[in-house]
Amino acid sequence: MHLCHPSTQRRLCQPTFRLERFPGYAEVMATAVEDVTRSWRDGQVIDLSSEMSKLTVRVAVRTMFSTALPETTVQQVADDFSLIAKGMFRRMVMPPLINHLPTPGTRRYYQAKDRLRQVGAQLIAERRSDDRDHGDLLSSLLSARDPEAGTGSASMTDSELSDQIFTFFLAGAETTASTLAWALYMLGRAPEVEQAVHAEVDHLLTDRTAGFDDVGNLPTVNRVLTETLRMYPAGWLLTRVVSRDTELAGIHLPEGTTVAVSPHIIHRREDIYERANEFSPSRWEGVKPDRTTYIPFGAGARKCIGDQFALTEASLALATITARWQLTALSDRPVSASLKHLPAPRNLMTRLTSRISADTAPGTAEQPVK
C-alpha cells in the first residue's frame, strides 16, 4: 500500500476544483438553497447558524457524493461537524494532554469523528465497486492520478480519501455556514448595506434562485462577503511548522517550531484597514484584496484549495436568501467575536419575514415557531 505525500494529495485534488466543473456544482448548490429556503415560513424563528449549517452540509453531501442520503443521516452529519468545529478551535490552543482527558466533551468529539468516518468509509466502499463517473467530487478524487508519478500513476488510498472527505466537509460546510451566518447577522445591523443588497438581488433575481451565471453580476453581495471574511475569517487561526532553522522578524526559530498566524488579528489591524472594526463593504469598491494582508483562506502553497468553491456557494446562498427573506435578530445585543463564538455565532435566534408576494410565497403565513 502506498501513501501519498501531502503535496501529491494536493495535486490529486486540484482537478476537482477546476473552473469548468463549477457550473455543475452551482446547480447542486442552488438546489440545496432552494430546499432550505422553501421550507421556511413567514414569521418563523430560526437558529441562524443551525440553518446555515443544514444548508451547507446538504451542498457538501450532494457535491461530494451526488447521493441523497437519508434526512436523518444528513442532520447527524451536520450536528457532528458542528460539534467538531466547536471543539477543534479549543483543542488547537490546549495542551495535548488536556485534549486526551476522558471528559464528556472529549468523548462526544471522538464519537462524532468516528460516525463521520464511518459514513465516508461506507460510501467509498460502495463507489469502489462502481466504475461509473457520477460527476461528483468523490468520482473526481477516485479517478485522479498524479501526473508526476510517472508510470506509477499514484492515486489515493481509502484512508487518504476518507481524510480528504473529512477535510472537505469541515472546510466546505462548517466554514461556509459561519460566513453566511455572520454576513446575514451583519446585514441586519447595517440597514443601508442591507437596502443596497436588496436592490441588487431584487433587480437581478426577483423570486428566482441564483445560479452560476449570476455570481459575476452580484458586486454588492460579493463585497458583503469579502468584508464578512475580513472581519470574521472562518480560519481565524492557522498553524505552520518550521521545516528548517530560520529567522522571523529578528527572532530565531529552530526547525520543528510551530508558528501560529491569526488572520482575525491581521484583518483587524488599524494600520492596515481604516476603521478596521467597522463593517464597511464599500471599502472594497474598485479594490482587490491584498493577498498579504487579506488571508481568510490562508496563503502560499497551503492556501485553501476550495476557496472559489466556498465563495461561489456563499454568493449564491446570500443572494437567494436576501431576495426572499428579511432576517431580524431577536436580540439587539451585539455578538462579540470570541473563542466561544468562532467560527460562527451560536444560538443566534432570528425571525424570518417574507419579502415576496403571497402569490409566490412558499406557503401561508404561520405563527412564529421557536
Mean pLDDT over residues 294-322, rounded? 89
The dihedrals phi and psi of 158, each to the nearest 5 degrees, come to -60, -40
pLDDT in tens, 66-89: 766 777 887 787 778 777 776 776
Report pLDDT for 365.
38
Specify if 370 maps to a domain. Answer: no
Q: Give yes or no for residue 361 having a pLDDT over 70.
A: no
Which pLDDT score, from 0 to 100, does residue 305 have? 78
Residues 6+ apart with CB under 8 A from 75: 54
Give the model confidence (pLDDT) of 189-246 as tens digits.
999 999 999 999 999 997 789 999 999 999 999 999 999 999 999 777 888 889 999 9
pLDDT confidence band for 151 (50 / 70 / 90): very low
pLDDT of residue 174: 79
Residue 272 is assigned to a structural domain of this protein: no
- Residue 106 is a catalytic residue: no
Q: What is the pLDDT of residue 362?
A: 46
Does residue 153 contact residue 4 with C-beta atoms inside 8 Å? no
Among 258, 253, 239, 211, residue whose Cα is nearest residue 27: 211
Whether 340 has a pLDDT exceeding 70, the answer reads no
pLDDT of residue 278: 96
Question: What's the pLDDT score for residue 368?
Answer: 39
Q: Rounded CA gap, 234 and 102, in Å?
A: 28
User: How many structural domains does the chain have?
Assistant: 1
* Confidence (pLDDT) at 119: 84
Query: Which domain, by its residues, includes 198?
Result: 6-232+308-354
Specify whether the CB–CB gap between 134 and 62 falls below 8 A. Answer: no
Q: What is the DSSP string of 37-95?
A: HHT--TT-EEEHHHHHHHHHHHHHHHHHH-----HHHHHHHHHHHHHHHHHHHHHHHS-
User: Does residue 31 register a pLDDT over 80?
Assistant: yes
**Active-site residue, from 297, 309, 322, 350:** 297
Is 35:62 a contact under the CB 8 Å cutoff?
A: no
Among 88-97, 111-120, 178-187, 239-248, name the one with the lowest average pLDDT.
88-97
Between 120-134, 135-149, 344-358, the lowest mean confidence (pLDDT) is in: 135-149
C-alpha cell at 168: 472537505
Q: What is the model's pLDDT at position 338? A: 57
191 within domain boundaries:
yes
Residue 368 lies in a domain: no
Going by pLDDT thresholds of 50, 70 and 90, the confidence category of residue 106 is confident
Answer whether residue 97 is part of any domain: yes
CATH of the domain at 99: 1.10.630.10
Catalytic residue among 209, 304, 309, 350: 304
pLDDT bucket at 363, cuts 50 / 70 / 90: very low
pLDDT at position 1 is 32
* Active-site annotation holds for 175: yes
More confident residue, 5 or 351: 351
Do the domain assignments include residue 324?
yes
167 domain-assigned: yes
* 276-286 pLDDT, tens digit each: 999 999 999 99
What letters, b where the CB count within 10 A reaches 16 and e where it falls short, cover 37-54?
A: beebbbebebbbbbbbbb
Of 175, 179, 312, 320, the active-site residue reads 175
Whether the CB-CB separation of 320 and 29 falls below 8 Å is answered with: no
Is pTM beyond 0.85 here? no
Residue type, 342: L
* Mean pLDDT lowest among 70-79, 151-160, 324-333: 151-160
Query: Domain for residue 29, yes or no?
Result: yes
Query: Catalytic residue at 81?
Result: no
